[in-house]
Structure 1
Amino acid sequence: MDILDWIQNWFKSNCDGDWEHGDGIQITTLDNPGWDVEIDISKTSIASMNLDWILNENSKQDWYGVKIENQKFNAAGDSGKLIFLLGLFKEMIEKIENNTIG
Structure 2
Amino acid sequence: MDVLDWLARWYEAQCDGVWEHRFGPSISTIDNPGWSLKIDLVGTDCDGRTLDPITHNRGHPTDWWTCWTKDNVFEGAGGPLHLRSLLEAFRDWATNVR
Same fold (TM over 0.5): yes
Structure 2 gaps of 5+ residues are none
Deviations 1:8-29 (A, max 9, x none): 1100000011111113110000
- Report if aligned partners of 2:49, 2:72 keep a CA contact under 8 Å in 1: yes
**1:70 correspondence with 2:71:** yes
Using the aligned pairs only, state the percent identity: 36
Higher strand share: 1
C-alpha displacement of 1:41: 0.8
C-alpha displacement of 1:52: 3.7
Between 73-82 and 48-57, report the one with greater CA deviation: 48-57
**TM-score, normalised by the number of residues in structure 1:** 0.86
Instruction: Determine helix, strand or coil for the equivalent of 1:16.
Output: coil
Between 55-64 and 73-82, report the one with greater CA deviation: 55-64
**Residue correspondences, number:** 97
Instruction: Determine helix, strand or coil for the equivalent of 1:95.
Output: coil
Between 54-63 and 20-29, report the one with greater CA deviation: 54-63
- Report if aligned partners of 2:23, 2:42 keep a CA contact under 8 Å in 1: no
- Report if aligned partners of 2:26, 2:38 keep a CA contact under 8 Å in 1: yes
Structure 1 gaps of 5+ residues are none
- Report if aligned partners of 1:49, 1:69 keep a CA contact under 8 Å in 2: no
